[in-house]
Amino acid sequence: MNLLPAIVSTAAAAAAGIAAWGAVAPSSELFGPTVRHTSSSRKIALTFDDGPNPTVTPHLLELFERHSVHATFFLIGEFARACPELVKEISVRGHLIGNHSHTHANLFFRSRAGIRDELVRCQDAIAAASHAEPPRWMRPPYGYRSPLLRGEIRRAGMRGVVMWSKICWDWKPRPPQRLIERLSRVARPDQPHGDIVVLHDGDHRALGGDRHHVVAALEHWLPRWRDAGMEFVTMESSSVTGAGGTCSP
């Protein structure tokens, strides 16, 4: 019996499985280092994807102002072009802005030139709107990376990829209580590192997505985290860590 076809098929399936894990698992560094923790269990990095969103982002900015919180917003380039004043307001209020691609494309399926186009157009859109330097960090849409991404990030002048330690499945409208319960897993004192939490202030499909449950859940948790002695940091205001070690600003 010729076992070679079966062996080849099994090996191919295993390689495909490893590639899929490497592309999307937050803890994977198969395609390059990632950041997914803060350096201390007392530090929380709140991060937001898919904005700016004129119906929700201003409410978050007001909430953060009340509680002296700084966050990181990973913006979609085409939305930044549509809402330049909101991008500028995020920056002026002291929050960090990151690159979330220009059109929220799945970068795993893009060529090198396609990845470059998504990153550079987003960089340009954010820099033009904020009148500041372009972002130094990016988060890939859907969390998907490819072997080509790391080189294009460097080429675009960025420092690296930010993943997460906690994801709360908040990208569909839902009662705030469900998100409040999921956020109870954040900032547990027995953790060796602090959490990078991914939330969504926008909907990548269109401007104006309903994310008011995110605002309501944070209205519940921000004072409680403050009372517990937690510090809110951005990707630049504290050391952040990945599986490969510490990446200090």
Choosing from 59, 95, 200, 213, the catalytic residue is: 200
Question: Any idea what DSSP says for residue 206?
Answer: B
Q: What is the DSSP string of 59-97?
A: HHHHHHHHHT---EEEE-HHHHHH-HHHHHHHHHTT-EE
Which structure tokens are listed for 105?
A: 């494309």
- DSSP H stretches of helix in 131-235: 149-155, 176-182, 212-227
List beta partners, residue 47.
72, 198
Choosing from 49, 50, 195, 201, the catalytic residue is: 49
Q: Which amino acid is at 170?
A: D
Residue 158: Cβ within 10 Å count: 18
Q: Are 47 and 139 in contact (CB under 8 A)?
A: yes
49 labelled catalytic: yes
227 labelled catalytic: no
Q: What is the DSSP string of 106-124?
A: -GGGS-HHHHHHHHHHHHH
Catalytic residues: 49, 200
